[in-house]
């Protein structure tokens, strides 16, 4: 039986005592450097033991800009004993270049078992029985049936030039993706195991390749050079946990073909976020809505599961950063629409060891859907497999849940979110631990 992720997080001890008025705490402006560390330990019987951690280092200078930092450096490093890994550095500052926000990223990600459910949402049927290895389940195929292997190098440089104070910014950026895809290495995952061995059988990815849904030119990945142009309007009172303001953007993403083999395409990413104060420094409401349609061209299958923002790109709809509780990359198509709404409550605030600390609770609802289908030839699908790809109308994928946040100096935010899918066609639930609010 697959043992799902168990995560241990160690951070500063909680000093929790009764506090009725969380607005009475007078915070201290931070100076110099501030950082927090989140070590994580996880285990999956297939992927192996995970070890590593992440940190965000902030520099505030003389404190005159607090809670806005002068420079931010995000570092993440983790490994699993079966070969998955995260190596990531993200730098962000509005003070490196005058009147320009600079965001730089270098990431190398290796995933031995990345989720793959097909295209276009509900028309790609998810059969939970295919991955349930209970001895009584006669429909079991493999725990890796909805997986493939992926490694990716990503290098990004974004520059946001201030047009009107810091509220209106023009964005220009470039991202290099080098993506390598293959079937799951069953021999590697079975190495050292004496029981619960994975069967050496074809998964959904291999079937899509055999049927020709995924072309020979794309089946092993490729390189994508993406130019980003856009406008960003940002009136948030603070970035870590805004209590008022809007954060809206329109991005044009263009990926030309330089080798004559990789297809070219362009997308739009339209995103609006808004923040409301329900009780000063205690209770807030936030929502986000984003529409990301293809404008022209053909998107390679390995670049489909992405959503784009001015700060960071994410894997597609489903999972920790988009639709919590829904299977990762469950909602994949040419055009997608998604939204989130959160109520955020700071129920405890204190100054502890000269650090501005608060604890929060979050209730949320997430939703999304494919609004423009990824076209492929369905006549190549064998008759016995047609129950996996059906002519069904796509509809909204929804989830709901609760979150807990631990915050130091407004910017270092540890978030623990638990979400449940509304429809079993999207899975059951998910537990996510990481940094920062969703938006």
Task: Return phi, psi of residue 347, to 5°.
Answer: -90, -10
Residue 6 pLDDT: 32
Which pLDDT score is estimated for 103? 97
Give the pLDDT of residue 24: 57
Q: Give residue 314's pLDDT.
A: 75
Quick one: which of 133, 130, 75, 86 has its CA closest to 112?
86
Whether the Cβ atoms of residue 74 and residue 59 lie closer than 8 Å to each other: no
Phi, psi at residue 179, to the nearest 5°? -110, 130
Model pLDDT, residue 17: 37
Q: How far, in Å, CA of 84 to CA of 47, rounded?
A: 7
Q: Mapping DSSP to helix (H, G, I), strand (E, B) and coil, where does residue 426 land?
A: helix
Instruction: Give the whole-angstrom CA distance, residue 148 versus residue 80.
Output: 16
pLDDT value for 180: 97
The per-residue pLDDT for 81 is 86
* Residue 13: per-residue pLDDT: 34
**For residue 388, cis peptide bond before it (omega within 30 degrees of 0):** no
> What is the H or E stretch that residue 204 is in?
helix 204-211
Return the residue matching tokens 């894997």: 315
In this predicted structure, what is the pLDDT of residue 191? Answer: 92
Q: Which residues of the chain carry a pLDDT beneath 50?
A: 1-20
Per-residue confidence (pLDDT) for residue 45, from 0 to 100:
63
Q: Give the residue extent of every domain in the chain.
A: 8-435
- On whether the CB atoms of residues 365 and 400 are closer than 8 A, the answer is yes
Spatial CA neighbour of 107 closest among 154, 73, 158: 154
CATH class of 8-435: mainly beta
Partnered with residue 158 across adjacent β-strands are 103, 173
Q: What is the pLDDT of residue 355?
A: 85
The pLDDT value given to residue 374: 96
């Amino acid at each position: 039986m697959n043992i799902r992720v168990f995560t241990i997080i160690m951070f500063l001890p909680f000093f929790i005592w009764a506090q009725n008025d969380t607005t009475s705490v007078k915070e201290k402006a931070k100076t110099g450097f501030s950082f927090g560390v989140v070590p994580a330990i996880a285990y999956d019987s297939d992927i192996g033991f995970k070890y590593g951690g992440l940190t965000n280092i902030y520099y505030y200078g003389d404190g005159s800009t607090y809670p806005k930092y002068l420079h931010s450096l995000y570092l993440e490093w983790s490994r699993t004993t079966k070969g998955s890994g995260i190596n990531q550095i993200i730098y962000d500052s509005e003070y490196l270049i005058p009147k320009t926000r600079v965001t730089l990223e270098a990431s190398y990600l290796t995933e031995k078992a990345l989720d793959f459910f097909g295209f276009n949402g509900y028309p790609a049927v998810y059969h939970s029985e295919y991955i349930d290895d209970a001895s009584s389940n006669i429909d079991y195929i493999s725990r890796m049936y909805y997986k493939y292997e992926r490694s990716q190098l990503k290098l990004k440089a974004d520059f946001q030039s201030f047009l009107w104070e810091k509220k209106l910014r023009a964005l220009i950026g470039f991202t290099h993706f080098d993506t390598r895809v293959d079937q799951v290495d069953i021999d590697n995952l079975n190495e050292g195991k004496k029981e619960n061995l994975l069967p050496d059988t074809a998964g959904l990815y291999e079937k899509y390749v055999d049927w020709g849904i995924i072309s020979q030119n794309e089946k092993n990945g490729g390189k994508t050079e993406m130019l980003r142009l856009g406008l960003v309007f940002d009136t948030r009172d603070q970035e870590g946990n805004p209590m008022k303001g809007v954060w809206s953007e329109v991005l044009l993403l263009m990926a030309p073909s330089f080798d004559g083999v990789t297809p070219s395409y362009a997308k739009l990413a339209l995103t609006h976020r808004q923040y409301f104060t329900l009780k000063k420094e205690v209770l807030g409401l936030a929502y986000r809505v984003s529409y990301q349609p293809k404008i022209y061209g053909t998107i390679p299958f390995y670049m489909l599961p992405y959503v784009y923002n001015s700060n960071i790109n994410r894997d597609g709809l489903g999972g920790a950063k988009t639709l919590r509780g829904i299977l990762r990359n469950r909602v994949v198509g040419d055009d997608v629409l998604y939204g989130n709404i959160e109520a955020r409550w700071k129920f405890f605030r204190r100054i502890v060891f000269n650090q501005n600390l608060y604890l929060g609770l979050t209730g949320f609802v997430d939703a999304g859907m494919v609004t423009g289908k990824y076209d492929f030839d369905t006549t190549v699908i064998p008759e016995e497999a047609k129950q996996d790809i059906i002519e069904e109308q796509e509809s909204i994928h929804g989830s709901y849940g609760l979150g807990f946040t631990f915050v130091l100096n407004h910017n270092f935010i540890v978030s623990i979110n638990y979400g449940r899918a509304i429809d079993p066609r999207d899975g059951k639930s998910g537990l996510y631990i990481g940094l920062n609010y969703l938006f």
